Chain A
């Protein structure tokens, strides 16, 4: 008999990735298997390492901003925000209301886009390939808004220190209307397509269960934490920008398994749509044009350290910026990258599951390798 109680079979090591269709890029998992059952799993990272923090340290503050888009490249704007907030803390500038609202609006739109990818790829990794196309279409509508607003679809670099790069315009308004129109029917359709599917339920229910206790001790954040029954969302519990102005309903799932992580994202999508509408309405009431605070052309923040964190689609993104007060480059930049912290639990979560479950677990975490490897 082997460790897991099966008849004796030979243990072997399977190298999942970095070239593998469902490791979401270049995650590598070195796993030991007994038959189809995983005995141990070890995530290996670093295949997409670009030295993001060092890049930022070698450039001036504004020059560093476009690079942060490449961390979680599915939600570019959301990565700009913690860096911008941290530097603004150092500078002590005040952000115009409209700029703050635009930041929130774009962040929510990109959060939606990122969730759409997360859900779609999850379903595709479970084998239902068509399931990826419908959310991607919705993501397309979201990206159209960004494209109209700041000219780029994915790596927007929209946020600037002190404000945002461009003001809201009619094209973005029209694109957002399309999103309003298309998203609710999609959500309804997707629920019908996936929610009751017996195969999907079998594949996900009870797979990769994380208790609230384990989730907290592994510092999971974002939807993965909330799917384990921990009611924590920075936007509500430690608001930044102007999130304190809006009532944010945070859905929570109790099961903590792969299915809960899917259901959590689907529920959050609806909340995001409501929030987008609320922010959009608030944006319309502000005066156009005031999108930049009083920021000097050459940024040289006073000496000190600042840390800012935001609720990103993958979890809590934090950014620490240290300035020596003399140079135009930051002395040190460090990112707390949520996907990186989230995958730490893989080694504990995966043993005992089948090969197919490993894929379901990876997919349900909605990781982005740009962020993990930095």
Chain B
């Protein structure tokens, strides 16, 4: 009979009216975030950072602005560490690249700000460790990486020690 399919469809939508609503009422109910969930801000454990610059090198969009200096012991220190989040893809490559595992993504997602100047995140001024830290990029036990015979042309200074550190960190 013509119209049978239409009635069947109406019955289906009618059934949905009485079934459970699935909406998460967001501002009242906070969403459940998986532990690896990538948020929109970064957190840095400053004391663990070895100023290797691998995070900045791994970034596809040059989000990370860093400046380095030597302290009185001749140790390399980071004097500027700014995440220019307006360019960020949130791909997490920087977090993965960190040999010490001291750079983290957080679970922040309510990151609206009034001014564009507030978007970049100065991680030396505010390391943001009070936020819920995402477990994204926590290293699984890797196979020993094969170090190429020559360090990369793009990063002659930083690549080698970092690779060694990576080995040490994973052990």
Query: A residues touching B (Cβ–Cβ < 8 Å)?
Result: 59-60, 62-67, 130, 134, 137, 144, 147-152, 155, 157, 165-167, 169, 171-172, 175, 189, 192-201, 289-298, 300, 328
- Contact A151-B148, Cβ < 8 Å, known A194-B9, A328-B154: no
Q: Which residues of B contact A291 (CB under 8 A)?
A: 140
Q: How far is the CB of B155 from chain A (nearest CB, A)?
A: 8
* B13 A193 Cβ-Cβ under 8 A: yes
Nearest chain A CB to B48's CB is how many angstroms away?
20
Q: How many residues from B make CB contacts under 8 Å with A?
A: 47
**Total inter-chain residue pairs, C-beta < 8 Å:** 121
Chain B residue with Cβ nearest A157: B91
Instruction: Report the nearest A residue to B59, measured CB to CB.
Output: A63
A295 and B145 within 8 A (CB):
yes
* Most A C-beta atoms less than 10 A away, residue of B16, B36, B38, B59: B36
* B34 lies within 8 A of A151 (CB): yes
Q: What is the interface of chain B, defined by CB distance below 8 A to chain A?
A: 2-6, 8-9, 11-13, 15-16, 22, 34-38, 58-60, 89-93, 96, 105, 134, 136, 140-148, 151-155, 159, 163, 166
Interface centre among A65, A198, A289 (most CB of B within 10 A): A198
Are A66's CB and B8's CB within 8 A? Answer: no
14 A-B residue pairings within 8 Å (CB atoms): A62-B58, A62-B93, A63-B59, A64-B60, A151-B34, A151-B92, A151-B134, A152-B92, A192-B9, A193-B8, A198-B6, A200-B5, A298-B148, A328-B154
Residues of B within 8 A of A297 (CB): 145, 147-148, 159, 163, 166
Closest A residue by C-beta to B154: A328
- Closest residue on chain A to residue B146 by CB atoms: A296
Distance (whole angstroms) from the CB of B157 to the closest CB of chain A: 14
User: What is the CA–CA distance of A290 and B144 in the complex, to the nearest angstrom?
Assistant: 11
Option from A192, A199, A328 in Cβ contact (under 8 Å) with B152: A328
Contact B38 A152 (CB under 8 A): yes
CA distance A195 to B4 in the complex (A): 11
Given A147-B37, A194-B9, A197-B6, the answer on whether A294 and B146 have CB atoms closer than 8 Å is yes
Flag if B5 contacts A197 (CB, 8 Å). yes
Residues of A contacting B151 in the complex (Cβ-Cβ under 8 angstroms): 298
Contact B140 A166 (CB under 8 A): yes
**Most chain A CB neighbours (cut-off 10 Å) among B15, B59, B91, B153:** B91
Residue of B nearest to A199 (CB): B6
The residues of B that contact A296 with a CB separation of less than 8 Å are: 145-148
| Bound: A144/B151 CA distance, A | 40
C-alpha gap A79/B153 in the complex (Å): 29
Across-interface contacts of A66 in B (CB, < 8 A)? 60, 89, 91, 93
For residue B3, which residues in chain A have a CB less than 8 angstroms away from its CB? Answer: 198
Contacting pair A157 B92 (CB below 8 A)? yes
Pairwise interchain contact A292-B5, C-beta atoms closer than 8 A: no
* Contacting residue for B5 out of A63, A171, A196, A294, CB 8 A: A196
When chains A and B are docked, how far (Å) is the Cα of A295 from the Cα of B140?
15
**If the complex has contacts A198-B6, A294-B143, are A151 and B105 also in contact, measured as CB distance less than 8 A?**
yes
Contacts of B148 in A (CB 8 A): 296-298, 300
